[in-house]
Amino acid sequence: MHRVNKIASHLSLQNSNDATLSTSNTSGCPSCPAPFNRACKVLVTGAAGNIAYAILFGIGRGKLLGPSQKIELYLLDIPMMSEKMKGVVMELRDCAFPLITKIVATTDYKTAFTDVDVALLVGAKPRAKGMLRGDLLKANANIFKGQGEAIEKYASRNVKVCVVGNPANTNALITMKNAPSIPRCNFTAMTRLDQNRAVAQIADKLGNVGYDQIQNVIIWGNHSATQYPDVSHAYLTCAKTGQVVTSVRAALNDEYWIDNTFIKTVQQRGSAIIKARGLSSAASAANACLDHVRDWLCGSNGRIVSMAVPSAGNPYGMDDDILYSFPVTCDAGNWRIVKLPVSTQSRQRMKKTEQELVQERQTALGI
């Protein structure tokens, strides 16, 4: 009996320690309540693809909406991917995620979009070798037109949409324009991957700084090679106190690297990954999507993050009818563009990526 009591005492202590560790190490919003007071209906399109595959298991682990939010998970893909979706569902069920209360895999828009609260539009026609960006736009225009119409017809009136499938900014614009009764502010496109890439480049260059110590790195414009990764307002914080230590520009002390190597590396990172592994970014894109939505719906706690959002009324003078990546702060499902001073050189780069988005809009909406 003494031995049994000793083991029971040990297990009880171990469970108590595990609970403490879980609370302190969970990323996302561990200290805030679940953003919905019921199970949240989350849709992931392109569900049999590599990016969606990585996203789905992150959702199960609480990386999308925090460790307390129950989720009804809807998977959508084209009919020819039905069997692969069945395999994905098997794996999700085999994980026995406590947060996932329901899993539905479908090829039907009505089933997928009805009353959905969060739509992660991942599925898109991939860019084939030698394909021009304009051809990619045309190929995806009808896909996102149809998904916008489905959102308009079936989704929750407060659905939050994050477009991941490329060209993401303009695909989001097409989706938004085909769902006119949904607030425009509920449509976003993901540039968090670019922000994360930029932070990683800075951390690697400095060599002795944690990723979470680098704040206010901004991505302006399009999720493309014209994007402008900007360190003008970025700073480093102390790992122990969280206090500001110095600006990123001062810490780097290398203007040539910032204006050339850094910017080009971030702009071309996707192509570099394709060249290295023969496939496009999947796990990093999935991680960025989870970061994007978690900050949007759970709040960024005052941190500036980059999101492509509808540009109407923006304080930087960008075209009013595109989705442009700006510095934003987020709180409880709302985002706000942060007004910052910009240099003449920065504005030139911001305008260049704006021009590409205007051209993409003209191409896409002319189809």
DSSP H helix total and E strand total for the chain: 13, 14
Among 2, 10, 223, 233, the active-site one is 223
C-alpha dist (Å) from residue 144 to 28, 45, 175, 356, 364: 29, 11, 5, 19, 10
Residue carrying structure tokens 């980059």:
306
CA distance 292 to 74: 19
Residue 49 corresponds to which tokens in the numbers above?
């693809």
C-alpha dist (Å) from residue 217 to 70, 74, 143: 32, 33, 32
| Catalytic residue flag (residue 2) | no
CA distance 8 to 182: 55
CA dihedral 323, 316, 264, 289 (to 10 degrees): -40
Q: Are 182 and 159 in contact (CB under 8 A)?
A: yes
Q: Are 121 and 163 in contact (CB under 8 A)?
A: yes
C-alpha dist (Å) from residue 267 to 46, 133, 135, 316: 25, 15, 20, 22
CA distance 227 to 281: 17
- CB neighbour list of residue 310: distance below 8 Å, 6 or more residues apart: 176, 184, 185, 187, 323
Q: Please identify every residue annotated as catalytic.
A: 223
